[in-house]
């Protein structure tokens, strides 16, 4: 569904240029769960931002369902974000004036969906994510894990086909992290959501079916889980990371 | 949840988070409405025909107010946009088009502005009652409370508000439409830099701006339009130069003297201030400019009022004064006949003012005060006329023996005449001074039409009668106030005579008219100046306060950490206070240094005997500053209590 073709991204002015992405190419098929790993500063966020249309590429092309997202007019772009894209940040990003329920349903209702069906969809998603009992609370009244699940809910309530997550477990404790990762796996398996998750944590990455390793803006390696168990995959990831060198401590 | 519902909710939050700002907009709406009320109140307008000139001045002042407030709204909107950029980024991310986000924000502001307008109009009614009471008192007309409601006043207020919001909103809407999602979400990555970077340039600009500032203040104090304009220009250059160089220089200063930095709580106070100051140079300068304008308009307003009132007061002992130096006295007689026929006279007297054969006393007085010479020779009056006038005015009688004279003068002349040699001669005969009287005696009328100017010499009748006549006076006490119509008729009579027979120096003066003039001029000049001053102070103070309160969460985290590190609450509150003091004092000091000399100097230009007592330059400067700091203080207090409550750990 997603093709990343030879993209490059530069930051900075004439005399001081940072190359954040360097000829990155890969394909994502429908229903995949991919983790993108790399040390801090390796370009993970930049890559995700380019795909999510938050940022633009300097060169190269990103095709979604064979359409280049760079060429989408503003209106189409908004629709694309609304209907196809779900985004989860490290730091939750819920609107603190809205309840959890309203946060999840916001995109739908702004989309002029029938209010009845919005309510139904939100309830359904909340049920799956196990946050039904906090729906009427405000973000500051619930835990980090619940907030992040709400963000996941928002990212998929409209039936978005692509979920982009930038270090979604970064601010969570290990129990909440595990819970969230299991939910994401479930979303991927049962609802067929395509997931692209950025992480620097091998444990989180081991939930994915495929792991891409980024180093200095380039794809350095790729690991497929295949039929192996999660624990085995976890150790394989650690091996690659060791090979990658650099700040192991930072990576783990 | 629809866009409009979301707007409504955001509006509620905005009014809460920016309560001080909301309160200011309400106050401004109230002020605009109250002044519009003066324009459209039939009752106020019918106080005098001259009141017809007042609306023009109020509209002019309102236009300036609209400009200032639309700048304030635009600035605050922009500020909110920046603070909430991540929120807006999120709207875009979940699929809203920029257009929709702009609409969302537009409605939010419209709701806030609308509520402020409605509340303001409600409050404005009370404010209008206050203004009405003042004007009625000035006219000496009895005042009754009556409910005021004017569709026209509301309409005009609405028009002003539409203008204010139109300007501010268009700007922010354009900004939202152009915003890139990346910039919104990662806004905090872009940090603001100091405007002037190198320290040598900063020092040069700092020194130059101080010199220009002093120069400008002096130029403002010289008379002459051109110098005044250049002076005002200098002040503007000074304020911007000063704040840009000084504000960005504070961090550099502490970097250079690290020992100072670690002294007491300096580090904390300094870090709280620098981030703001470095980014706020231009806004600080603008605020200082507004403050300067405010202090100057308050002072000018009060000087104006003192001049009007104190010039009229010495003459207000008589209800009517008619005078002529025309030998034929034709016009004089016509007017006098009209008065006798149409106005009920309680008491009156016709008499001559004479001139002595020298101007010794005039010379003496004018060389010792800023006395304005009206008579070529010292003015003189006969004792019997003087006695009659004293009796008419209810002053205690005075006696004069052979070879004595007395002086009746305004209080400021009395001070000078204490050093007068006190012996004068008439036709070879010498006279010694009996006493000096200083009651009000119509001695502040120009064009030789009063009982002398500033002073008059009183001598026995037989001595006065041989002197040449300066002019004939006819002074009247009436049973009722002279009406505007009667005044106009008299004026028309004079005018007709002039048209037929040429200018003949007949002068007519009415207390009622003079008082009405003072009232009208107060409504016309002083009210608008104070209106402006109020709006200027509130605008500047609210911007400072918004900046300060927007740091609430930041301070809170910082103080929580400091407490964990073992800092005492008392120390924290001290640091917060210090920071507060410096922050609010900075933009207020230059305006005080410019405004006070300006006011004192301006008051000094007025002729002597006017700016005395409650109108003394120092008093006026003091009241101007007092008023300014009163309003400013309200904002400081609001900000301080809010911060202290929300920031300091319990
Ligand atoms: N707005 C920016 N301006 C300049 N350089 C940037 C910007 N954003 C990211 N970079 C640089 O691009 C590189 C990749 O950053 P990023 O994608 O955030 O890394 P990661 O998410 O893997 O930690 C880093 O070297 C970073 O310093
Ligand atoms: Mg990152």
Return the percentage of chain B with pLDDT > 70, whole number. 94
CB-nearest partner of A78 from B1, B10, B96 = B96
| Mean pLDDT of all residues in B269-294 | 82
How would residue B121 be classed by pLDDT, with cut points 50, 70 and 90?
very high
pLDDT at B262: 66
Q: What is the pLDDT of residues B29-44, one digit of tens each?
A: 999 999 999 999 988 8
| Mean pLDDT of all residues in A201-205 | 90
* Residues B92, A81: C-beta atoms closer than 8 Å: yes
From CA A95, how far away is CA A107, in angstroms rounded? Answer: 12
From CA B219, how far away is CA B231, in angstroms rounded? Answer: 5
Question: Greatest CA span in chain B, whole angstroms?
Answer: 106
CB of A12 sitting under 6 A from ligand 1: yes
From CA B417, how far away is CA B455, in angstroms rounded? Answer: 10
Q: What is the pLDDT of residues B395-431, one digit of tens each?
A: 999 998 888 999 999 998 988 888 887 788 887 888 9
Pick from A70, A76, A107, A164 the residue to mutate for testing the B interface (most B CBs within 10 Å): A107
CB of A44 sitting under 6 A from ligand 1: yes
Residue B13 has pLDDT above 90, yes or no: no
Confirm whether the ipTM is greater than 0.90: no
Q: What is the pLDDT of residues A3-50, one digit of tens each?
A: 999 999 998 766 788 889 989 999 999 999 999 998 888 899 999 999
* Residues A95, B3: C-beta atoms closer than 8 Å: no
Nearest ligand, measured from the Cα of B191: 1
Residue A117 has pLDDT above 60, yes or no: yes
Q: Which atom of ligand 1 is nearest the CA belonging to A38?
A: 22
How would residue B192 be classed by pLDDT, with cut points 50, 70 and 90?
very low
CB of A6 sitting under 6 A from ligand 1: no
Q: How far apart are the first and last CA of chain A?
A: 31
Q: Which atom of ligand 1 is nearest the CA belonging to A217?
A: 14
Mutational pocket test of ligand 1: of A43, A58, A220, the residue with most ligand atoms within 8 Å of the beta carbon: A43
Residue B304 has pLDDT above 60, yes or no: yes
- How many angstroms is it from A221 CA to the middle of ligand 1? 20
* B93 chain-A contacts, CB cut-off 8 A: 52, 54, 81, 87
* Residues A109, B2: C-beta atoms closer than 8 Å: yes
User: Chain B residues contacting A, CB < 8 Å?
Assistant: 1-3, 6, 9-10, 13, 86-87, 90, 92-98, 100, 181-182, 185
Q: Which atom of ligand 1 is nearest the CA belonging to A12?
A: 4
How would residue A128 be classed by pLDDT, with cut points 50, 70 and 90?
confident
CB of B190 sitting under 6 A from ligand 1: no
How would residue A252 be classed by pLDDT, with cut points 50, 70 and 90?
very low
| Mean pLDDT of all residues in B350-370 | 89
Pick from A18, A80, A95, A122 the residue to mutate for testing the B interface (most B CBs within 10 Å): A95
For residue B188 the two structure tokens come to 């905090």
Interface of A with B in 81-100 (CB under 8 A): 81-83, 85, 87, 93, 95, 97-98
pLDDT at A27: 92
Share the mean pLDDT of chain A: 86
* Residues B94, A106: C-beta atoms closer than 8 Å: yes
* B9 chain-A contacts, CB cut-off 8 A: 97-98
- A108, A159 Cβ separation under 8 angstroms: no
pLDDT at A248: 44
- B220, B598 Cβ separation under 8 angstroms: yes
Interface of A with B in 20-59 (CB under 8 A): 49, 52-56
How would residue B335 be classed by pLDDT, with cut points 50, 70 and 90?
confident
Question: Which residue in B has a C-alpha nearest to residue A118's C-alpha?
Answer: B1
CB of A188 sitting under 6 A from ligand 1: no
Greatest mean pLDDT among A55-69, A85-99, B59-73 lies in: B59-73
pLDDT at B159: 96
CB atoms within 10 A of CB A67: 12
Min Cα separation A36/chain B (Å): 21
How would residue B265 be classed by pLDDT, with cut points 50, 70 and 90?
low
- Give alpha helix (H) positions in chain A: 44-51, 74-83, 100-110, 115-129, 144-156, 174-190, 202-205, 230-244, 248-251
| Mean pLDDT of all residues in B538-562 | 87
Residue B457 has pLDDT above 90, yes or no: yes
- A31, A2 Cβ separation under 8 angstroms: no
Residues in chain A: 252
Cα–Cα distances in angstroms (integers) from residue A14 to residues A10, A11, A18, B186, B192, in the given order = 10, 10, 10, 21, 20
CB of A199 sitting under 6 A from ligand 1: no
- B239, B590 Cβ separation under 8 angstroms: yes
| Mean pLDDT of all residues in B1-30 | 87
């Amino acid at each position: 569904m997603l093709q990343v073709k030879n993209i490059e991204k530069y930051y900075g002015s004439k005399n001081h240029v940072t190359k954040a992405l360097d000829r990155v190419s890969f394909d994502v098929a429908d229903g995949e769960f991919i983790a993108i790993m790399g040390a801090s500063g390796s370009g993970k966020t930049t890559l995700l931002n380019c795909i999510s249309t938050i940022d633009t590429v300097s060169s190269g092309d990103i095709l979604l369902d064979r359409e280049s997202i760079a060429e989408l007019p503003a209106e189409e772009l908004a629709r694309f974000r609304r209907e196809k894209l779900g985004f989860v940040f490290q730091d939750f990003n819920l609107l603190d004036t809205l309840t959890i329920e309203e946060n999840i349903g916001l995109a739908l209702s702004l989309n002029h969906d029938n209010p009845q069906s919005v309510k139904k969809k939100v309830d359904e998603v909340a049920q799956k994510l196990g946050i039904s009992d906090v729906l009427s609370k405000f973000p500051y009244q619930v835990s980090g894990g619940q907030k992040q699940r709400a963000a996941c809910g928002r990212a998929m309530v409209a039936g978005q086909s692509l979920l982009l997550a930038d270090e979604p477990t970064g601010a969570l404790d290990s129990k909440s992290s595990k819970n969230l990762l299991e939910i994401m796996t479930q979303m991927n398996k049962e609802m067929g959501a395509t997931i692209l998750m950025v992480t620097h944590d091998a444990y989180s990455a081991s939930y994915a079916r495929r792991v891409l390793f980024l180093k200095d803006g380039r794809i350095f390696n790729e690991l497929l889980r295949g039929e192996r168990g999660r624990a085995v995959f976890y150790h394989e990831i650690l091996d690659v990371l060791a090979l990658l060198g650099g700040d192991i401590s930072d990576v783990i | 949840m629809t866009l409009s519902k979301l707007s409504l909710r955001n509006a509620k939050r905005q009014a809460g988070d920016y309560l001080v700002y909301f309160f200011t907009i309400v106050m401004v709406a109230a002020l605009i409405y109250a002044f519009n009320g003066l324009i459209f109140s039939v009752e106020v307008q019918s106080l005098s025909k001259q009141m017809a000139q007042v609306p023009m001045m109020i509209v002019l002042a309102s236009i300036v107010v609209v400009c200032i407030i639309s700048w304030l709204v635009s600035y605050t909107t922009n500020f909110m946009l920046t603070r909430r950029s991540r929120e807006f980024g999120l709207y875009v991310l979940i699929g809203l088009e920029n257009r929709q986000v702009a609409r969302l924000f537009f409605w939010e502001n419209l709701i806030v502005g609308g509520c402020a307008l409605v509340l303001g109009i409600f409050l404005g009614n009370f404010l209008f009652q206050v203004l009405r009471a003042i004007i009625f008192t000035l006219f000496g007309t009895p005042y009754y409370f009556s409910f005021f409601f004017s569709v026209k006043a509301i309409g005009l207020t609405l028009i002003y508000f539409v203008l204010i919001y139109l300007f501010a909103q268009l700007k922010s809407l354009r900004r939202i439409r152009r915003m890139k999602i990346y910039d919104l979400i990662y806004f905090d990555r872009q940090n603001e830099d100091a405007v002037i970077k190198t320290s040598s340039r900063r020092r040069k600009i700092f020194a130059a701006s101080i010199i220009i500032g002093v120069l400008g203040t002096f130029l403002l104090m010289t008379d002459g339009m051109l110098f005044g304009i250049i002076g005002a220009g200098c002040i503007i250059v000074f304020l911007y130069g000063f704040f840009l160089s000084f504000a960005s220089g504070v961090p550099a200063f502490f970097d250079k003297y690290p020992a100072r930095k670690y002294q007491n709580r300096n580090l904390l106070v300094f870090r709280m201030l620098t981030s703001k100051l470095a980014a706020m140079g231009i806004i600080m300068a603008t605020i200082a400019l507004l403050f300067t304008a405010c202090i100057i308009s308050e002072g000018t307003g009060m000087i104006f009022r003192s001049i009007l009132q104190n010039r009229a007061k010495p003459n207000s002992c008589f209800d009517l004064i008619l005078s002529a130096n025309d030998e034929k006295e034709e016009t004089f007689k016509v007017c006098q006949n009209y008065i006798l026929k149409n106005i009920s006279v309680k008491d009156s007297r016709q008499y001559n003012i004479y001139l002595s054969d020298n101007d010794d006393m005039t010379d003496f007085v004018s060389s010792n005060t800023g006395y304005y010479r009206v008579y070529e020779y010292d003015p003189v009056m006969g004792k019997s006329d003087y006695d009659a006038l004293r009796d008419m005015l209810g002053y205690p009688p005075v006696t004069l023996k052979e070879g004595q004279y007395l002086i009746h003068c305004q209080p400021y002349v009395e001070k000078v005449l204490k050093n007068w040699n006190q012996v004068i001669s008439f036709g070879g005969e010498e006279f010694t001074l009996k006493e000096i009287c200083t009651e009000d005696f119509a001695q502040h009328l120009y064009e030789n039409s009063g009982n002398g100017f500033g002073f008059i010499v009183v001598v026995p009748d037989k001595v006065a009668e041989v002197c040449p006549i300066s002019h004939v006076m006819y002074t009247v006490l009436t049973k009722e106030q002279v009406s505007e119509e009667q005044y106009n008729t008299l004026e028309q009579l004079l005018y007709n005579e002039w048209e037929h027979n040429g200018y003949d120096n007949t002068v007519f003066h009415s207390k009622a008219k003079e008082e009405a003039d003072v009232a009208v001029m107060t409504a016309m000049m002083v009210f608008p100046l104070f209106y402006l001053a109020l709006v200027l102070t509130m605008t500047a103070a609210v911007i400072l306060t918004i900046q300060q309160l927007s740091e609430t969460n930041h301070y809170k985290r910082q103080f929580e950490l400091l407490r964990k590190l073992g800092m005492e609450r008392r120390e924290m509150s001290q640091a917060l206070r210090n920071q507060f003091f410096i922050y609010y004092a900075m933009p207020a000091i230059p305006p005080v240094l410019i405004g006070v000399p300006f006011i004192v100097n301006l008051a000094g230009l007025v002729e002597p005997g006017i700016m005395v007592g409650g109108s003394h330059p120092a008093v006026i400067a003091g009241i101007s500053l007092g008023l300014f700091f009163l309003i400013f203080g309200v904002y400081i207090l609001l900000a301080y209590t809010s911060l202290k409550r929300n920031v300091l750990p319990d």
